[in-house]
Amino acid sequence: MPLVFGLQCPICGELGSGRSLSSHYRTVHPDFFIQYQFLNRRFSRISLGIILASLVSIPLLVIGLFQIAILPWGLLLVIWFAYTLFMFQRNLEVEGDRYLDEWTNQGKRSSVGEIATGPTRKGGTPIVCPICRKGPFRLGLGLRYHTRIAHPDYFSWYARWVRDAELTMMLMGVILLFLGVTGILPLNTPIGPVFVGPVLLVVAIFAANRSRKQRGWRRNYLEKN
C-alpha cells in the first residue's frame, strides 16, 4: 500500500492500517481511544438505523411504485452523507487536533506536520502548501496540520469552503432526486442528461473561487515574507 494512502495516527503520526492503528490508540493514546471508539460506535448505530429505515421502501417496491420507492432511499443516502461528513468526520478531526496539540504541548514528538519522505505524490504532483509552498506533505493530515498552525485564517476559510461545497452538492442531489422522481426532469429521455450542465457549472464556480482565494492568500504571504 503506498504511504500516501496509508492511515496515519492523527496524534503522533505513526503509520499503520485500520486495525493496527486502533490498538496503537488503545496503548499509546488511551484517552483519544475512548473518544474514537465512542464516535465509531455511534457511526455504526446511525448507519444501521439508516439501513433499517430504508426498508420502508420495500412495500412501495412490492406494489410497483419504483419511482416513489427511490425517493426515501435517495433522502436517506443524503442524510447518511451529511452525518458522515458534518458530524462523524468533523468530530474525529476536532478530537484528533485537540489530542495532537495536547501531545506536542507536553513536548512529545509528532511526525504529523513534518515534511514527508517517501512517496507523497497525488497524480504526479507533490503535495505542497498552496500558500508558502512548503512541503511535500502527506495527503490529508500533514497539510492539514501545517495550514492549521502556519496559516490559521486560510485553514478556517478552507474548512468553510469544503463544507459549503459539500452542502451545495447535497442540496443539488436532493433537488435532482425530486425532479427525477416527480418526472419534471425526464432522466431516461435524451434531454434527461441536461442536468449535468448546472452541476458542472456549480463545480466550476467553487473551483474558481478556491483558486482565486488561494492566489490572494499566496500574495499576502509573499508581501509579508
What is the secondary structure of 14-81 as a DSSP string?
A: -EE-HHHHHHHHHHH-HHHHHHHHHHHHHHHHHHHHHHHHGGGHHHHHHTT-HHHHHHHHHHHHHHHH
Nearer to Zn ion by C-beta: 149 or 208? 149
Residues lying near Zn ion in the complex (CB under 5 A) are found at 9, 11-12, 14, 28, 129, 131-132, 134, 150
What is the nearest approach in angstroms of Zn ion to the Cβ of residue 143?
Answer: 8
Q: Is 5 within 8 Å of 140 (Cβ atoms)?
A: no
Nearer to Zn ion by C-beta: 80 or 137? 137
What is the nearest approach in angstroms of Zn ion to the Cβ of residue 157?
Answer: 14
Nearer to Zn ion by C-beta: 127 or 131? 131
Nearer to Zn ion by C-beta: 128 or 176? 128
Q: Which are the contacts of 134, defined by CB distance < 8 A and separation ≥ 6?
A: 115, 128, 146, 150
What is the nearest approach in angstroms of Zn ion to the Cβ of residue 50?
Answer: 31
Nearer to Zn ion by C-beta: 11 or 71? 11
DSSP state, 170? Answer: H
What is the nearest approach in angstroms of Zn ion to the Cβ of residue 113?
Answer: 10
Burial 134-170 (b: 16+ CB within 10 A, else e): ebbbbbebbbbbbbbeebeebbebbeebeeebeeebb
